[in-house]
Structure 1
């Protein structure tokens, strides 16, 4: 069955949530965020889950979320946490779109945002830029391997990104 979902993957801060919301406004396709779903279910912030329960517990929550998405969601744009791409059933949920940008481009995007401090606080992994860069380098190869579509989002306006994304996903 064609679920007609678009799953946005990419490194933290690349703009997955922002692009998902813009797609909702331009296409009317519903938009959900996996981290928001997990926070809603647990009534805890992601960084608190990591601190209190650890990463393995969080990854189990992501797995439960992925199984629910596969079973329950159609015609939706799904923005994901940076590590969600590892879910075994991701291809059963929908078309996987990798939003690509350089590490420096992501940092610039975050720092140029009006709410830059909030965006940085929400991403504790970015407190150590050397470690974050290593994680980025590891993940970009994996993102490319798992994706059905790659859209370079660096230094592009939203209208341009959406046009390319929609044309590649039809």
Structure 2
């Protein structure tokens, strides 16, 4: 089985994915890390030097490549991955794949992203929590229609990573 974790920036896809992989004895793959490894550039550098269209094409290519492996994998995808190139349909239609939306509220995301914004070019320029909340609200509104197609939805607000992993395991098995 392949478990694909989707959700907005800072929803915990990578950190929860690693914990879940350890608990289930699965391999963990972060799609952005895989792209960086294959392209020998950071995601930011790929965007700057080759453009978003190139990045999204590579993202779709590597997503399909991972989904075709059919091994025990936890796959964390970028926040935009389900929203482009029919990727959500690819995830939903793939054999042996379960999709999980790590669902966080806008205030939770704003709080987390204000602490991590320097590492995220898309939001690095945002100065206040109010501006961050407004940005996330607009951005999430565009993306939530894709996220909500996931087979399992796990609310994460106010929960520890261990509790979230337990919630996922209970829903899966």
TM surpasses 0.5: yes
Q: Displacement, 1:123? A: 1.5
Mark the runs of 5 or more structure 2 residues left unpaired by the alignment.
127-131
Aligned counterpart in structure 1 of residue 161 of structure 2, from 141, 146, 158: 158
Cross-structure match for 1:102:
105
**Residue 26 of structure 2 is aligned to residue 29 of structure 1:** yes
Q: Displacement, 1:51? A: 1.8
Inter-partner Cα distance in structure 1 for 2:118 and 2:146: 26
Conserved 8 A contact 1:12-1:81: yes
Q: Displacement, 1:70? A: 2.1
Conserved 8 A contact 1:12-1:123: no
Mark the runs of 5 or more structure 1 residues left unpaired by the alignment.
none
Count of equivalent residues: 160
Inter-partner Cα distance in structure 1 for 2:18 and 2:52: 27
Conserved 8 A contact 1:126-1:132: no
- Cα RMSD (Å): 1.7
Alignment of 1:104-143 (within 5 A): 104-111=107-114, 116=115, 119-127=116-124, 128=126, 129=132, 130-143=134-147
Cross-structure match for 1:89:
90
Aligned counterpart in structure 1 of residue 12 of structure 2, from 11, 15, 30: 15
Give the secondary-structure state (helix, strand or coil) at the position aligned to 1:35: helix
Q: Displacement, 1:168? A: 0.9
Inter-partner Cα distance in structure 2 for 1:124 and 1:73: 33
Q: Displacement, 1:131? A: 3.9
Cross-structure match for 2:129:
none
